[in-house]
Amino acid sequence: MAKRVYQVWKGSNYFFIGGRLIFGPDAKSLLISLLLIIVPVTVFCVFVARHLRHEFSSYNAGYAILAVAIIFTIHVLVLLLLTSARDPGIVPRNSHPPEEEFRHDFSTSVEGGRQTPSLQLPRTKEVIVNGMPVRVKYCDTCMLYRPPRCSHCSICNNCVERFDHHCPWVGQCIGLRNYRFFFCFVSSAMLLCIYVFAICALYIKVLMNDNQGTVWKAMKESPASVILMAYCFISLWFVGGLTGFHLYLISTNQTTYENFRYKSENRINVYDLGCVNNFMEVFCTQVKPSRNNFRAFVQEEEPRPPLRTTREAEVEMGEDQRVKVEDDLDFGGDLLKISQRHNIEDIEADIRSRGSDVHHHNSSAADSVLGSDRRAPNVQADIRNSSWGRRSGSWEIASEVVGMKSNVTESRSHVVPKDPYQ
């Protein structure tokens, strides 16, 4: 039976409802975030908002306090779910490196100074963004060149477009497709904290007016209000500070990753379109559809011929060099034989021209020929050694072969017959 994409997914994500919901590997931390929202709101509705139902008699306005708290909490939870349970902008990984980007590189080997070809993939390449060159990197895990502003999340093990950061509180990466919902979640949580804090303070004020007491007596009468105010005050520092920081990032069209990594480099921000346009880009543009269809069936790819590795290229080139060297040795040996034959013929002709001293000349010529035969292996061995250093296809005769004729000629010059008239 064919499997679906989410069943063979290579990332570290968790899928639910047949691949319809996707979470990060730390999705369990999402339960903590849910408790941190639901529990305080429940306490607020039971111990604070419920007592304020009849405090505002006109049109039963006290019920509105309870209704707003419940509706606003549901709004925050929906934004949390939209942030953590959707594809943040994952770039589908390739099953093989992009072959069109391969280039042949001849790198010099340490052993023998040989040059061996190897296939190398450029680690970076430049693309044009808003008229400015931007360098993008190659991802070895996903086997692709990351789009601009894309980064590989080591926790989710995915390349995410417009990667902002990995948030453990929502258990998901924050990227192109869920950044808007993340900011709305954080800012709504901040407003919820302000709302709960303000209503708790209002309830203490109502208790003070009803009992004609002090603040301390009112706080003792409603300890839940005090606890909620302290909790909201502490939480407001986190979600409020986070909201302010992301307002700055949106106004300058930066991501958290870019701000922390390139802050000290004083780079020109090629993505900055102006404050208004930056906000329009985040909140008023359509969310791009996911590049992944997690419920689709996996299609089997046809087997591809394996790429030639560096080792195979070295072996192939080594064989070519070995054949070339053998050809050089054969050619050198032929030249040696031709040189020896011509020298021997000259010696025999000289011997025949001197009939009066045949025996003496034959013994001298034989010694000369034997001496040439003894030296021939050494010369040939020298030729064999010298041919290893030749890299080109030149047929240049080694200096040892050229010098051999002069040695044989010198040997012949020593075979000078005695003058019969002396």
Q: Is residue 393 pLDDT above 50, yes or no?
A: no
Structure tokens at 248: 């700055």
Half-sphere exposure of 263 toward its Cβ, with a 13 Å CA cutoff?
7
Tens digit of pLDDT for each residue in 154-210? 999 999 999 999 999 999 999 999 999 999 999 999 999 999 999 999 999 999 888
Q: Is residue 313 pLDDT above 60, yes or no?
A: no
pLDDT at position 301? 64
Q: Is residue 329 pLDDT above 50, yes or no?
A: yes
Q: Which of 167, 173, 193, 232 is catalytic?
A: 167
Token pair 């050619």 in the structure block, residue = 331
pLDDT at position 101? 56
Q: pLDDT higher for 315 or 89?
A: 89
Q: How confident is the model at residue 108 (pLDDT cuts 50, 70, 90)?
A: very low
The one-letter code for the residue type at 389 is G
Quick check: 104 and 189 in contact, CB under 8 A? no
**Nearest C-alpha neighbor of 220 from the set 231, 235, 230, 208:** 208
pLDDT at position 162? 95
Q: Is residue 400 pLDDT above 70, yes or no?
A: no
Q: Residues with Cβ < 8 Å from 210, sequence gap 6 or more?
A: none
Q: Residues with Cβ < 8 Å from 117, sequence gap 6 or more?
A: 104, 105, 106, 310, 313, 314, 317
What DSSP state is assigned to residue 170?
A: T
* Burial call 312-326: b when 16+ CB within 10 Å, e when fewer: ebbeeeeeeeeeeee
Tell me how far apart the alpha carbons of residues 270 and 96 are, in angstroms, rounded to a whole number.
Answer: 31
Q: Is residue 420 pLDDT above 90, yes or no?
A: no
Q: Is residue 25 pLDDT above 90, yes or no?
A: yes
- Look at the alpha carbons of 37, 42, 45, 48 in this order and tell me if their dihedral is positive or negative: negative
CA dihedral 73, 78, 81, 87 (to 10 degrees): -150
Residues constituting the chain: 422
Structure tokens at 157: 């093990």
Q: pLDDT higher for 14 or 403?
A: 14
pLDDT at position 408? 40
Helices then strands (H, E): number in the chain? Answer: 10, 11
142 is catalytic: no
Tell me how far apart the alpha carbons of residues 181 and 82 are, in angstroms, rounded to a whole number.
Answer: 6
Of 51-55, 257-261, 356-360, 387-391, highest mean pLDDT: 257-261
Mean pLDDT of all residues in 6-33: 93
Average pLDDT, the chain: 77
Tens digit of pLDDT for each residue in 278-298? 999 999 999 999 999 999 998
Q: How confident is the model at residue 122 (pLDDT cuts 50, 70, 90)?
A: confident
The one-letter code for the residue type at 200 is C
Q: Is residue 255 pLDDT above 90, yes or no?
A: yes
Tell me how far apart the alpha carbons of residues 174 and 79 are, in angstroms, rounded to a whole number.
Answer: 13
Q: Is residue 390 pLDDT above 50, yes or no?
A: no
Q: How confident is the model at residue 264 (pLDDT cuts 50, 70, 90)?
A: confident
pLDDT at position 107? 47
Q: Is residue 367 pLDDT above 50, yes or no?
A: no
Mean pLDDT of all residues in 339-363: 52
Lowest mean pLDDT among 30-44, 211-225, 237-251, 363-377: 363-377
Share of the chain above pLDDT 70, in %: 65
- Look at the alpha carbons of 48, 49, 50, 52 in this order and tell me if their dihedral is positive or negative: positive
Mean pLDDT of all residues in 395-419: 44
pTM tops 0.85 = no
Q: How confident is the model at residue 317 (pLDDT cuts 50, 70, 90)?
A: low
Mean pLDDT of all residues in 47-57: 85
Q: What share of the chain is helix, strand, coil (3-state, %, to 5)?
A: 55, 10, 30
Q: Is residue 318 pLDDT above 60, yes or no?
A: no
Q: pLDDT higher for 304 or 192?
A: 192
pLDDT at position 404? 47
125 φ, ψ to 5°? -150, 160
Tens digit of pLDDT for each residue in 215-250? 888 899 999 999 999 999 999 999 999 999 999 999
